[in-house]
A and B are shown apart, each in its own frame.
Chain A
Amino acid sequence: MPLIQYWRVLPRPLRIVAGRLIMIVPQMFGVMLVTFLLVRLLPGDPALLMLGNMATEEQIIALREKLGLNLSVYEQFMQYAGNVMHGDLGVSPFTSNPVVVDLLERAPATLELITYAMLLTILIGVAFAVISVIRPKGAIDYGSRVYGLAAGAIPDFWVGLLLIYFFFYVLGWAPAPFGRVDALVTPPPTVTGFYTIDSLLAGDLNAFFSAVGRLLLPVLTLAIVNAGALMKMTKTVFADAYRSDFIRHQRACGLSERTIVRSALRNSLPPIITLVGFLFGFLLGAAVLVETIFSWGGLGQYAVQAVINSDYAALQGFVLVAAAFILVVYLVVDILYELADPRIKV
């Protein structure tokens, strides 16, 4: 009882964050259970599957021993959980690197790509939606309608190829679509894994501009494809808010148009936050085609390779990282959502 009383007197934002953070523990446990079962549930002998048809009897027995397959399921899970806690996700037989090393190299590449893509998506989607609502029948309004129709229909790899054709091949404005920095530029020392940030931290402007240049086209590709959905939804929500009674009243109170737009946008935030969170989580794996076109060396490519090669350790690692990432994104979404709307009870 006294515990509940402490809880009630906490300020609302603190209760929101604390409540969500506590939930992350069982959720993470669930994720580990699922990735563990992912391999155990495959038909046949995991050791055989992992080693392939060419494996010798001794190798299989050795791997079974190593994987602890002769232990009970409960013990196996404890062992797996223990390994994960220590950052041991096994070794990929194809890259012969520990999976953790591979993931640590590739995850930042994808994260950098989709983070900037998301920021640009929000900028394009929200700006177009707002302008087309407050200036109906203007050029932006008509343009955004055409775009809204087209955006759902064009595949991302095609947009990527078009951009490469025009901006790299025809106009020569963009750098070649090969990786995250120019081959002649040394990547900055890893701090965050984001080349744009690391190069600035290292004071290496050359690497910075090279990284930004390489990011331009793939980020633009992802933003163009995904901003359409965000724009359409924002438009609906924002138009409702913009025509509501309280906005009319604000206008009757003589507030400036800027204040009014901001207030209407502030009121349309909750669904926007949800969709952005969803898109962000979705892009982690869905950016794979764009990654491939731009030889990005990201997570999506790694996962596809792992599937093609039946590389179970790598796949397991990818699923774990992806699930943890999505958990974090949704955690942030939930927290922002409740902060954005004071009417939600915590």
Chain B
Amino acid sequence: MSMTISTNQEAPLLVARDLSVKFDGADKPALDNVSFSLHRNEVLGIVGETGSGKSVLARALMNLLSENGRITAGDVLLDNQSILGMDDNELRRLRGGRLALIGTNAKSLLDPVETVGSQIVRVLRAHRGGSKRAAWREAVDMLSKVGIVNPERRARAYPHELSGGMAQRVVIAMAMITSPQVVLADDATLGLDATIQVQVLDLLVNRCRELGLGAIIITHDLGIVAHFCDKVAIMREGRIVEIGPVGKFLSGPTQAYSAELLEAAKVRPTPVVREARETSPDVKRTALLDVSNLVKHFPIPGTNEVVRAVDDVSFSLARGETLALVGESGSGKTTIGQCLVRLLTTTAGRVTFDGEDLTGMSEREFRQRRRRIQMVFQEPYVALNPRWSVANLIGEPLALLSAAGSVNKTKRIRELLDAVQLPVRLADAYPHELTAGEQKRVGIARALATRPDFVVFDEPTTALDIRVRAQIIDLVRDLQAEMGLSALFITHDLNSVRSLAHAVSVMRHGKILEYGPTETIFASPQEEYTKTLLKAELPIEQSQVQRERAERMLVGEMR
């Protein structure tokens, strides 16, 4: 406690002074007079929507803008030393050595042809030298510190062999191994499931506090800010709209925009009415999809063991019903989804759809059924052919329907664009010209094109801005109501489960742990694991610990 008090009287660790950044060809600056300071042992949250300039800020702080970007005014001081005056070698030692960046989408940040252990070793030796052997030991040690089980073996794994959460930990280990003074986490937990997100951030923030580092957490999740940060800065269009202690911001933001953001994030949509059950008791009992004792094994390369990705799972789904599968990544949720649409062959078990056994069907017979069973993929950008326009992408599945004339096709594409609320002018756009939310909508439109009876939604709301996420939830709710769609909803976003699903299955290690109506599961979870899962959802209010910490710091400042 005495340390907290003394640190705040010290000079700030990192200062940004009137920082402005402009990209060639852009009319407006990407950063406009951004000023803030960060002390030792302090966590600053920077919040903003896509395009607000948060990531540019992170790069500008390291003087690492892409080729066409320049710092036009202002300065960044680390320990009272201007980073703009540094030569190449000093900058190289600063990056990763004194100022470490943890980026989004860890899997793409790792060199795909090197083992993760040697990548950490590479970073360590770039800053501290030393023998490979000693560096390897330190890397393995760091991997275990960031919570990787069996670090010896994992260090020898390639990035593609790791899950997203594991890759994120590797990137954190890469940042922490040089003991930097400031850690920048740029949307570091985007796309991770809630339990992992909390673990990863807990780990990150605790390590920073232990070592007395400064940390900047860039995010669009106000729950994270409330739970982990001391100070918060709200960004919009390259400017800091509001900056101040988190407690103060949560109790009463001073600016209209930050108030709007806070309000949008706080909204908890009410669950949908369970129409399927209400219509008539006879209809609801006819299961559209029935999965019994589904098993899927993956062989582990280099051994004779198998991963039991799906381990004896059974469930059924009534017409018009939406079932959510929730669980950590690696629990087998996505594997089940892919088995249902036959992107993976099942090891054992039966899948019955509308009275027909799908598992026994030949690929040719199954093709006929594909029209009725569709899937919305997790990463929309990866799942869309980058060289096709939106109209072609949406039109493609229409080929599965026998009688689709070209006039009909154009009309149907229009309808689908309307259905997913995309403006018609986007029909000629290409995937890279779309925002993440629009890409998700194209993915949904593709799945709906053949008027399916059953759709698998794989993480439809992850990695989206708060306001866009709310829009996608509304869209799916409308579609459910209008089309009477049955859906399997694979997600770790519990908030959206509450507003979309009639029933919830909680999965872990390939098994279903708990199943029940949504309200029941959320109100009174039975299993310990379900409780952990629900607890990982971060409410947008300060925890007791954070409040006390804020008070201590306040006292320190006043002395």
Contacts and interface: CB of A to CB of B under 8 A. Distances in A.
A120 B160 CA distance: 35
Interface in B84-142: 92-97, 100-101, 103, 105, 108-114, 122-123, 126-127
Interface string B184-205: 0000000000000000000000
Across chains A and B, which 10 residue pairs bring their CB atoms closest together, nearest first?
A254-B96, A253-B96, A254-B95, A249-B109, A245-B108, A252-B101, A342-B158, A253-B123, A255-B126, A254-B92
24 contacts: A8-B301, A8-B302, A9-B302, A9-B304, A12-B301, A245-B103, A245-B108, A246-B108, A246-B110, A250-B122, A252-B103, A253-B101, A253-B126, A254-B92, A254-B94, A255-B96, A255-B123, A259-B122, A266-B113, A266-B114, A267-B111, A341-B112, A342-B158, A345-B301
B405 interface: no
Contacts of B436: none
Contacts of A256: 92, 126
A292 interface: no
A251 B95 contact: yes
Given A246-B108, A263-B111, A342-B158, A253 B174 contact: yes
Interface in B166-183: 171, 174-175, 178
A43 interface: no
Given A11-B302, A12-B302, A252-B103, A340 B96 contact: no
Contact of B126 (A5, A259, A343): A259
A267 B301 contact: no
B62 interface: yes
Contacts of B93: 254
**Chain A interface extent, by class:** 20 to 34
B417 to A, nearest CB: 31
A8 B304 CA distance: 6
B123 A254 contact: yes
Nearest to B175: A253
B423 interface: no
Given A8-B302, A8-B303, A251 B158 contact: no
Given A251-B64, A267-B112, A341-B113, A5 B304 contact: yes
Interface of B: 59, 62, 64, 92-97, 100-101, 103, 105, 108-114, 122-123, 126-127, 158, 160, 171, 174-175, 178, 299, 301-304
Contacts of B122: 250, 255, 259
A17 B537 CA distance: 49
Given A245-B105, A253-B96, A255-B126, A343 B62 contact: no
B160 A343 contact: yes
Interface residues of chain A: helix, strand, loop or mixed (majority)? helix
Given A253-B174, A267-B113, 7 more contacts: A9-B303, A11-B302, A245-B105, A248-B64, A252-B103, A254-B127, A266-B111
B384 to A, nearest CB: 19
A11 B302 CA distance: 6
Nearest to A264: B111
Contacts of B175: 253
A343 B107 CA distance: 13
Nearest to A270: B113
Contacts of B64: 248, 251-252
Given A267-B111, A267-B112, A252 B96 contact: yes
A259 B113 CA distance: 14
A342 B157 CA distance: 10
Contact of B95 (A5, A8, A252): A252
Contacts of A9: 302-304
Given A253-B123, A254-B93, A343-B160, A246 B112 contact: yes
A251 B101 CA distance: 10
Nearest to B88: A257
B304 to A, nearest CB: 5
Contacts of B100: 253
Contacts of B111: 246, 250, 263, 266-267
A245 B303 contact: no
Contacts of B126: 253-256, 259
Contacts of A249: 101, 103, 109-110, 171
Contacts of A8: 299, 301-304
A279 to B, nearest CB: 23
Most chain B CB within 10 A, of A245, A253, A340, is at A253
Most chain A CB within 10 A, of B92, B97, B303, is at B92
A245 B186 CA distance: 14
B174 to A, nearest CB: 6
Contacts of B94: 254
Contacts of A346: 301
A259 B160 CA distance: 21
Contacts of B95: 251-254
A296 B62 CA distance: 59
Contacts of B110: 246, 249
A346 B302 CA distance: 11
